[in-house]
Structure 1
Amino acid sequence: MKKIAIYPGSFDPITNGHVDLIKRASKIFDEVIIAITQNANKSSFLSIDQRVGAVESSIKSLSNTRVLSFNSLLVDFARDHDAQIIIRGLRAVSDFEYEFQLSGMNKRLNSEIETLFMTPSEEFANISSSLVREILSLGGDISPFVPAQVKTILLETLQK
């Protein structure tokens, strides 16, 4: 049976930490689906199309990945794509409580799906999308935190 994992998130924007986890997960699973949420209750800096494009361009060298957007329960999306694993990144202990609650709720909604927590490589442990957006808005250099093509998309969006 093909092992399919889903790495969900808003990816607003995708960071080098996200890319690190995707690359590492792609070595473990037959397929990794990067599932970008279309949360209508949350305003995004980048449009859903920009986020999909940014993620696709950041992982184009990985042949066993797909990028899809969704606007449903994650467990339903996983079931619809035959995924057995949900990947969640943990940067710090403070992330764990929330992620643990999500994992438990997802397990109650669909007992067939497991959650795998992954920690980023050390050099990416302090990167978050919200910090990247803040640095960008204050005119700082985001080059160390996002892929080059993502930096271009962010700067173009900021100038609009």
Structure 2
Amino acid sequence: MASTTAQHMGNLPSGMGICTTIPDIFYVPELIFGGLTWCLVASTKVQPANPLGWVMFVSVFCFTVTFLWAIIFGCGAHRNSGAWAAADFAYHGIAAFFYLSSSVALAYVTLGMKDLATSSEGLRLYRIDIAAVVFSYVATLLYFLHTIFSALRWKSF
């Protein structure tokens, strides 16, 4: 309760405040679901390489930048300025768009693999890809929610 009353919507949190305020509470789930997408796609056969290469790029890029972004906010290096709030909104908006495009590509490739799921190995890879699609869409939703709440925080500055 102290963290919610101490945090005004226009203030950017630092330290452990990023674990208790919206939208920053989404950092950990974004890292978890983005990392799971990354691991699951990396554990399957890369066929066709082009869409899955985009999925890998997006999941690795967003995982890395989100981790760095959480470190910056956690250390308090943002100095509670409106420019950081705008940058937070812009990054998460771009990440949500990237994840949506990669999720659609991954779902399309996974649908094409349905016919190859006749053997036990093919079925195992198909199920891994289905899990990757689910986690990718969850990550997309988390980044989208983070974008909305970041926009509200940015507008309150």
TM score, norm. by length of structure 2: 0.25
* Structure with greater strand percent: 1
Q: Which has the higher contact order (CA 8 A, sep 6+)?
A: 2
Q: What is the TM-score when the length of structure 1 is the normalising length?
A: 0.25
**Bigger radius of gyration among the two:** 2
